[in-house]
A and B are shown apart, each in its own frame.
Chain A
Amino acid sequence: MYKVEVELKNETGLHARPASVFVKEASGYSSEIFVIKDEKTYNGKSIMGILSMGAGKGDKIILQADGEDEKEAVEALKSLIENNFGE
């Protein structure tokens, strides 16, 4: 298992377009991917899971992956968030 904490700095947070960009990226890995916010765990490959989490600008979330490409997956998602989803 591999995990890191990141802060959402883009304006929209994990809503709308960024949420689908995130899910698309996550779905490309074989590992199970979770996003943890306020001690609640959401499926990182589920658009509905991510949307119902309601994470906005300034929120801190934990990215966690379990599987063969866990490190790669978490790092890729982390850089996606740090680069503000290319906004």
Chain B
Amino acid sequence: MKGIGASPGIAIGKVLIKKEPEIKIEKLAISDSGQEIQRLKEARETCKEQIKNLYDRTLKTMGKKEAQIFEAHGMILEDPEFFGQVEEKISNESFNAEYALKEVTDTFVELFKNMDNEYMRERAADIKDVTTRVTRILLGIESTDFSSLDEEIIIIAEDLTPSDTAQMDKEKVLGFITEIGGKTAHSAIMARTLEIPAVVGVEDITELANNGDYIVFDGDEGTVVLNPEDDVIEEYKNKQAEYIKLKNRLNELKGEKSITKDGVEVELVANIGTPRDVKGVIKNDGEGVGLYRTEFLYMDRDRLPTEEEQFEAYKKVAEKLKDKPIVIRTLDIGGDKELSYLDLPKEMNPFLGYRAIRLCLDRTDIFKTQLRALLRASAYGNIKIMFPMISSIEEVRQAKAVLEEIKEDLRKENIKFNEEIEVGIMVEIPAVAVMSDLFAKEVDFFSIGTNDLIQYTTAVDRGNRKISYLYNQFHPALLRLVKMVIDNGHKEGIWVGMCGEVAGDPKLIPILIGLGLDEFSMSPISILKSRWIIKNLSKKEMEEMAEKVINLPTAEDVEKFIDENIDIEI
């Protein structure tokens, strides 16, 4: 069987199936409504305790942000309006508590679901979560409890809720498998935070497996074997030992420099989306942040973030990372990444449309607020500013002029900021790569965004499955552009980094070393592995390899050449 690897690691153990008994709610006529209301009150009390426990537990094991969801659940449970309506239904219409609760829940869920706002729609799920919990208590249905397990098990479920993952005892839960969900599903994210191996999206697994069955799985590849033969168990045990060995070996690289055999040092930094991600950067010994995507500050809400909110977020990252460099990219939104409250018109061709710096230079109110917050935060750490989606020199000059304007305002107001703050651009549009000799005179650094650069260079929409075979990071055209950008940057004495997927690709890292890339920005979990690769390379040898590779005719040839000539196995 195969699913999607959601959290790496190998799990070997006994199955525990989590199946929620189906909840059937009957409509009954009750005679003593006072007693029925009392019954509801008691159920709410019990529920309150459960939620409080979940809150405390999550706060301890995962942190404040993850625990907040249970605080919200607690507020719903205390809501006088909501439960006032339920009680009214019990006394006026003589409904039983379960049915009255269901009626009111349905009304509210419907109301919130139809709101034109992502945040409100999410609240509908919270309401449902809480009232299901109360209903279960009313009906005396026990739900599977993962907090007090006697033996080590692997959990198999259709889906897992935040409450489920929050309860998991890391000592006893060896891993979990679900039928529903993708890599970014809530349960998958939690599994990675807790470092429990997990596979999601395995069809019918709850039907196929039984309690007590033996199961093995690989949370990286997503392979699952139910009731395996002895030799398969042996194979997974070896894999598990290998995995642990690898992890230990990589852990030993913490604190070491990212330096080639012949003494060339580069910077291995991380891509992050929120201040929370800094934990992962520190844990994996990232040497800084090469791309802080600020979009998340603007998403999942119904208004623009204020200057204060942004300032706090940037400052937090800066303080946590002390003097390490942090490249913060200004708002990259529009086109495919929408913000409901901005009311942007639908476009025929969003990737070529009104987005990122184009939007910011038009809506300078949004841009200025962000730049002010960034500059203010620059007094607290080593922040650098990066503009996305630049396609012309004029845009760089305009953006820098706005920045200067804000600097002047801050000086007048006597607000501290870093006067020497570095300003760079993303190189993700071929026009910029081709003219990088001139762009290099305007900025302090380049960061090559390979995801978009491949897409724009090869005219391949990376979301379109029918042509996805054309989207290839080994395309010689990409490598030639990368070489051009690095050479031009170095000629003007500026550093050149990369913040797309390619920067963390084990096969391409040697070529990038050969081409002279200074900074590699990747997902935090790839950092130590990349350091291992780099420490085993010679820059001089890689220069020769790179020279050969960029003269090959096809992407296939490039990949084959790397496979045959460069050893990156750990």
Binding site for B on A (CB under 8 A): 10-13, 15-16, 20, 23-24, 27, 42-43, 45-49, 51-52, 54, 56-57, 87
A57-B303, A87-B306 known; A51-B120 Cβ under 8 A? yes
Indicate whether B309 reaches chain A with its CB closer than 8 angstroms: yes
Q: A16 CA to B76 CA in the complex, in Å?
A: 13
Binding site for A on B (CB under 8 A): 72, 75-76, 78-82, 84, 108, 111-112, 115, 119-120, 123, 127, 301-306, 308-309
B302 and A15 contacting across the interface, CB-CB below 8 Å: yes
B302 and A46 contacting across the interface, CB-CB below 8 Å: no
User: Which residues of A sit under 8 angstroms from B301, Cβ to Cβ?
Assistant: 12, 15-16
Q: B40 to chain A: closest CB distance in Å? A: 17
Interface of B is mostly: helix
B80 and A87 contacting across the interface, CB-CB below 8 Å: no
A13-B303, A23-B75 known; A45-B80 Cβ under 8 A? yes
Q: A16 CA to B309 CA in the complex, in Å?
A: 14
Residue from A11, A46, A51, A57 within 8 A of B80 (CB atoms):
A46
Residue from B72, B84, B111, B305 within 8 A of A52 (CB atoms):
B111
Question: Which among A13, A45, A47 has the highest number of chain B CB atoms within 10 Å?
Answer: A47
5 inter-chain pairs at a CB distance below 8 angstroms, sorted by A residue, are A42-B81, A46-B81, A47-B79, A51-B112, A52-B108
Q: A45 to chain B: closest CB distance in Å? A: 5
A46 and B79 contacting across the interface, CB-CB below 8 Å: yes
Q: A27 CA to B304 CA in the complex, in Å?
A: 28
A47 and B119 contacting across the interface, CB-CB below 8 Å: no
Which partner residue on chain B sits nearest A52 by CB separation? Answer: B111
User: Which residues of B sit under 8 angstroms from A11, Cβ to Cβ?
Assistant: 303-306
B303 and A46 contacting across the interface, CB-CB below 8 Å: no
User: Which residues of B sit under 8 angstroms from A27, Cβ to Cβ?
Assistant: 78
User: Which residues of A sit under 8 angstroms from B81, Cβ to Cβ?
Assistant: 42-43, 45-46, 48-49
Q: B51 to chain A: closest CB distance in Å? A: 14
A15-B303, A16-B302 known; A54-B108 Cβ under 8 A? no
Q: Nearest 5 CB-CB pairs, A to B?
A: A46-B81, A49-B81, A43-B81, A11-B303, A12-B303
Given known contacts A48-B81, A56-B302, A87-B308, what 20 new A-B pairs fall within 8 Å (CB)? A11-B303, A11-B304, A11-B305, A12-B301, A12-B303, A15-B119, A15-B303, A16-B119, A23-B75, A27-B78, A45-B80, A45-B81, A46-B81, A48-B82, A48-B108, A48-B127, A49-B81, A51-B123, A52-B112, A87-B309
Q: A43 CA to B83 CA in the complex, in Å?
A: 12
Q: A12 CA to B302 CA in the complex, in Å?
A: 7
Q: A44 to chain B: closest CB distance in Å? A: 10
Residue from B79, B303, B304, B309 within 8 A of A48 (CB atoms):
B79
Q: A53 to chain B: closest CB distance in Å? A: 11
Q: A72 to chain B: closest CB distance in Å? A: 20
B308 and A20 contacting across the interface, CB-CB below 8 Å: no
Q: A29 CA to B563 CA in the complex, in Å?
A: 71
User: Which residues of B sit under 8 angstroms from A87, Cβ to Cβ?
Assistant: 306, 308-309
User: Which residues of A sit under 8 angstroms from B72, Cβ to Cβ?
Assistant: 20
Q: A67 to chain B: closest CB distance in Å? A: 14
User: Which residues of B sit under 8 angstroms from A47, Cβ to Cβ?
Assistant: 75-76, 79
User: Which residues of A sit under 8 angstroms from B303, Cβ to Cβ?
Assistant: 11-13, 15, 56-57
Q: B23 to chain A: closest CB distance in Å? A: 22
Q: B131 to chain A: closest CB distance in Å? A: 12
Q: B521 to chain A: closest CB distance in Å? A: 31
Q: B55 to chain A: closest CB distance in Å? A: 14
Q: A59 CA to B394 CA in the complex, in Å?
A: 40
User: Which residues of A sit under 8 angstroms from B127, Cβ to Cβ?
Assistant: 48
Which partner residue on chain A sits nearest B116 by CB separation? Answer: A54
User: Which residues of B sit under 8 angstroms from A48, Cβ to Cβ?
Assistant: 76, 79, 81-82, 108, 127
Q: B420 to chain A: closest CB distance in Å? A: 31
Q: A10 CA to B301 CA in the complex, in Å?
A: 14
Which partner residue on chain A sits nearest B119 by CB separation? Answer: A16
Q: A28 to chain B: closest CB distance in Å? A: 12
Q: A6 CA to B78 CA in the complex, in Å?
A: 26
Q: A48 CA to B108 CA in the complex, in Å?
A: 8
User: Which residues of B sit under 8 angstroms from A42, Cβ to Cβ?
Assistant: 81
Q: A11 CA to B78 CA in the complex, in Å?
A: 27
B82 and A46 contacting across the interface, CB-CB below 8 Å: yes
Q: A35 to chain B: closest CB distance in Å? A: 11
Q: A12 CA to B306 CA in the complex, in Å?
A: 9
Q: A47 CA to B84 CA in the complex, in Å?
A: 13
Q: A12 CA to B115 CA in the complex, in Å?
A: 16
Which partner residue on chain B sits nearest A19 by CB separation? Answer: B75
Q: A57 CA to B308 CA in the complex, in Å?
A: 16
Q: B71 to chain A: closest CB distance in Å? A: 8
Q: A49 CA to B39 CA in the complex, in Å?
A: 24
Which partner residue on chain A sits nearest B305 by CB separation? Answer: A11
Q: A12 CA to B301 CA in the complex, in Å?
A: 8
User: Which residues of A sit under 8 angstroms from B80, Cβ to Cβ?
Assistant: 43, 45-46
Q: A73 CA to B152 CA in the complex, in Å?
A: 53
User: Which residues of B sit under 8 angstroms from A24, Cβ to Cβ?
Assistant: 75
User: Which residues of B sit under 8 angstroms from A13, Cβ to Cβ?
Assistant: 303
Q: A75 CA to B115 CA in the complex, in Å?
A: 31
Q: A23 CA to B75 CA in the complex, in Å?
A: 9
User: Which residues of B sit under 8 angstroms from A45, Cβ to Cβ?
Assistant: 80-81
Q: A6 to chain B: closest CB distance in Å? A: 18
Q: B346 to chain A: closest CB distance in Å? A: 23
Which partner residue on chain B sits nearest A24 by CB separation? Answer: B75
Q: B545 to chain A: closest CB distance in Å? A: 52
User: Which residues of A sit under 8 angstroms from B305, Cβ to Cβ?
Assistant: 11
User: Which residues of A sit under 8 angstroms from B79, Cβ to Cβ?
Assistant: 46-49
Q: A17 to chain B: closest CB distance in Å? A: 9
Question: Which among A27, A42, A51 has the highest number of chain B CB atoms within 10 Å?
Answer: A51
